[in-house]
Amino acid sequence: MTKKTKNTAESQEVSVEQKLTALYNLQQIDSQIDKIKIVRGELPLEVEDLEDEIAGLETRMANFQEEKDKFEQFIKEKNESIKESNALIKKYTDQQMNVRNNREYDSLTKEIEFQNLEIQLSEKKIKEAKFRIESVEADMKEANEKLEMRRQDLAAKKSELTGIIAETEKEEEELVKKSQENEKFIEERLLTAYKRIRKNARNGLAVVKIERDACGGCFNKIPPQHQLDIKLHKKIIVCEYCGRILVDEDLTKSDAGENE
């Protein structure tokens, strides 16, 4: 091997190692961003659920109020009916004083009895409506207490979310910037593959190290020859089972030392 050929080989080896290091660094940074999004991601869902529950409770309260209003209007109408019946009873009683025969007297007596029955029926209906109002008011009280609790929960969750966003926004911006800087060291084809693997992986891991002779992503055993090729850092090697990019322990330790 000539000196020129040897330098070319060394240059190629360093180039692949740099790509692997950049990919591993990129994975570490993106994983930190994922963690921030996970913490933040749960809270907006909780806030949304609480807002939906509050909207449902408010609708329920409005329905209860509408039902109560109807019963109150019904009671008002029945009270008016009782007043009208009492007025008619008085009228018929007065007319009885001036009847000309028993037939007219009996007819007025029947009208009075009918109006008394109407009063009794109205009073019964009023009593039933009042009972229903009491039941609705009990439901309203329970729903209102729950509504107030959920509003307090929502305020607390929104406050917590605002706090987390304030705390992590700057950190996330810095991590995104670092991620973009690392992407510059990775060729477009490889970067596209990395992003595709990350998107399809449940844990977002596209680059994993070998742990106990197995892939750190799917935990399937890696053949010894593949492990040797990975240690040489001469080419990008992916797991034949899950497709993740594989790196060895030495590369990750070396990178950790540089970061420290």
The two three-digit tokens of residue 33, written as one number:
């961003």
**Three-state secondary structure of the chain:** CCHHHHHHHHHHHHHHHHHHHHHHHHHHHHHHHHHHHHHHHHHHHHHHHHHHHHHHHHHHHHHHHHHHHHHHHHHHHHHHHHHHHHHHHHHHHHHHCCCCCHHHHHHHHHHHHHHHHHHHHHHHHHHHHHHHHHHHHHHHHHHHHHHHHHHHHHHHHHHHHHHHHHHHHHHHHHHHHHHHHHHCCCCHHHHHHHHHHHHHCCCCCCEEEEECCEECCCCCECCHHHHHHHHHCCCCCECCCCCCEEECHHHHHHHHHHHC
| CATH assignment, 37-184 | 1.10.287.1490
Instruction: Tell me if 194 sits within 8 A of 23, measured CB to CB.
Output: yes
Q: What is the pLDDT of residue 168?
A: 79
What are the strands of the beta sheet with 207-211, ordered from one edge? Answer: 214-215, 207-211, 245-247
What are the φ/ψ torsions at residue 86 (nearest 5 degrees)?
-65, -40
pLDDT digits (tens, 9 = 90+) for 29-88: 999 888 888 877 778 889 999 999 999 999 999 999 999 999 999 999 999 999 999 999
Neighbours of 187 (CB within 10 A): 9
Nearest to 194 by CA among 27, 17, 13, 2: 27
Q: What is the pLDDT along the chain (260 residues), one digit of tens a residue?
A: 444 444 434 444 436 888 888 899 999 999 988 888 887 777 888 999 999 999 999 999 999 999 999 999 999 999 999 999 999 999 999 999 988 899 999 999 999 999 999 999 999 999 999 999 999 999 999 999 999 999 999 999 999 888 888 877 888 888 988 888 878 878 888 899 999 999 888 789 999 999 989 999 999 999 998 888 888 888 888 998 899 999 988 777 755 444 44
Instruction: Tell me if 57 sits within 8 A of 49, measured CB to CB.
Output: no
Q: What is the pLDDT of residue 257?
A: 43
Which residue reads 């910037």 in tokens? 177
Instruction: Tell me if 64 sits within 8 A of 56, measured CB to CB.
Output: no
Antiparallel, parallel or unpaired: β 207-211 and 214-215: antiparallel
Instruction: Tell me if 252 sits within 8 A of 214, measured CB to CB.
Output: no
Question: How distant, in Å, are the alpha carbons of 91, 104, 214 from that of 94?
Answer: 5, 13, 107
